[in-house]
Structure 1
Amino acid sequence: MMKRNLWILAGLLILLCAALYQNNKTGILSVFGLGDETNSAAAGQGKSVSQLVAENAPKPGSKAPAFSLTALDGKTYQVGGKRDKPLLLNFWASWCDPCKEEAPDLVKLAEQYGEQLDVYAVNVTFYDKLENAKEFVKNYGYTFPVLLDEKEEAYRKYNGIAFPTNVLIDENGMIRDVIVGTLSPEELEAKIKKLLNA
């Protein structure tokens, strides 16, 4: 009986691996923000996923990819093009431990620089649960807009590969810095000051 169960389990694992292999263009690689075109290009050029992500990710000095998302407050917020104030764009998920560590720093920065800086927290709801995101926002006292990326549209445009990812965008809609992972509060504030003084 035990041997039979092991064979059934092995068969299921083989089927799962086959399904993942067949769907890797839209499944596994979507976590890295890669679509069909980049995957086939990678196969032809022998490039790794991390190389492709680095090549395709928006870089400092380039225009911030445009998107429009609805936030928890019911309003629609837009990114892309000229702005009244520079923007700190924060991609996060409620289950992400580094996001939890960074959350108090974002709240403090938003309070301290709110007159000069917009902060948009983009919950990549595609990889999260709305109720968990709402609880996170409540627990950490977010007062800035929390945008919901339910279809992973914005995260893909920025070729997101990890949470948190912070993108600093100036008033002209140009990317000034991309920060994957967390920084110390002092380092993050120094980058904010640099953005505001640019």
Structure 2
Amino acid sequence: MTLQYWGRLLSAVLIVTLLGACNNRRPGLQIGDMAPVVTLTDFEGNPVTLPEDVRGKVTLIRFWAMDCSHCNKDVVLALEDLYRKYKDQGFLPVAIHESQPIATDERFRKFERVTFPMLVDEHGTVARQFGVVGLPTTLVLDEEGIVREKITGEAGIDTFEKLLTTVLYKGDFYDGTY
């Protein structure tokens, strides 16, 4: 192997490294990005288009799955309580279930009391468009559909409340005294 060969190899490695360093953006949606326009169906088969159908509302989108061992399923139920608490201020949670729920799966019965949209992303296509790399993933969109907060992994309902109220009240966490 000649010195010329090693010089070319070193140049190629240097170019690839520099190109990679210039692209320091992480994959997927980031804070400040506009959410993609997507249409999903709810558990009854009704279409919902995001973010168009939720425009004007602060929207917490929760990507989850019943078979996800890292997903706390009770968080979806707790979002119902946050929805009731903040819906008059313009808050709307949306739960997006990865994979098709099976109608005979008794585990879904406890979600019958949920009144906010529960959507189905049967093949994970929408999750990929939103840059979801693992479940659960939660995003908070502002009234215009811009991503303002993003959590990959699990967090407590108190954390979600802080995130959504920070967006809802334009930077101020709502402490109940307004």
TM-score between the two structures when normalised by the length of structure 1: 0.65
Answer yes or no: is the 8 Å Cα contact 2:58–2:164 preserved in 1: no
User: Which residue does the alignment assign to 1:139?
Assistant: 110
**Structure number with higher helix proportion:** 1
Give SS of 1:111's match.
Answer: helix
- With over 3 angstroms needed to count, the CA separation of the structure-2 counterparts of 1:66 and 1:136, relative to structure 1, is farther
User: Which residue does the alignment assign to 1:69?
Assistant: 40
Answer yes or no: is the 8 Å Cα contact 1:83–1:171 preserved in 2: yes
> Higher Cα Rg: structure 1 or 2?
2
Deviations 1:162-185 (A, max 9, x none): 211111001111000111112222
- With over 3 angstroms needed to count, the CA separation of the structure-2 counterparts of 1:133 and 1:192, relative to structure 1, is farther
Give SS of 1:95's match.
Answer: coil
Q: How many residues align?
A: 146
Moved more, 147-156 or 71-80: 71-80
Q: Does 1:110 pair with 2:87?
A: no
- With over 3 angstroms needed to count, the CA separation of the structure-2 counterparts of 1:159 and 1:108, relative to structure 1, is same
**Structure number with higher strand proportion:** 2
Deviations 1:85-143 (A, max 9, x none): 11111111002243324233222212212232111111111xxx521796444214322
- Distance in 1 (alpha carbons) for counterparts of 2:126 and 2:61: 11
- Distance in 1 (alpha carbons) for counterparts of 2:57 and 2:120: 21
Answer yes or no: is the 8 Å Cα contact 1:93–1:99 preserved in 2: no
- Distance in 2 (alpha carbons) for counterparts of 1:137 and 1:191: 27
- With over 3 angstroms needed to count, the CA separation of the structure-2 counterparts of 1:99 and 1:165, relative to structure 1, is same
* 1:139 counterpart letter in structure 2: K
Q: What is the percentage of aligned positions where both structures have the same residue?
A: 25
- With over 3 angstroms needed to count, the CA separation of the structure-2 counterparts of 1:60 and 1:75, relative to structure 1, is same
> What's the RMSD between the two structures over aligned residues?
2.5
Moved more, 107-116 or 143-152: 107-116
Give SS of 2:85's match.
Answer: helix
Q: Does 1:148 pair with 2:148?
A: no
Q: Residue 120 of structure 1 is aligned with which of 94, 118, 121?
A: 94
Answer yes or no: is the 8 Å Cα contact 1:68–1:79 preserved in 2: yes
- With over 3 angstroms needed to count, the CA separation of the structure-2 counterparts of 1:187 and 1:156, relative to structure 1, is same
Answer yes or no: is the 8 Å Cα contact 2:76–2:95 preserved in 1: no
User: Which residue does the alignment assign to 2:3?
Assistant: none
- With over 3 angstroms needed to count, the CA separation of the structure-2 counterparts of 1:86 and 1:133, relative to structure 1, is farther
TM-score between the two structures when normalised by the length of structure 2: 0.72
* 1:70 counterpart letter in structure 2: T
Displacement over 6 Å in runs of 4+: none
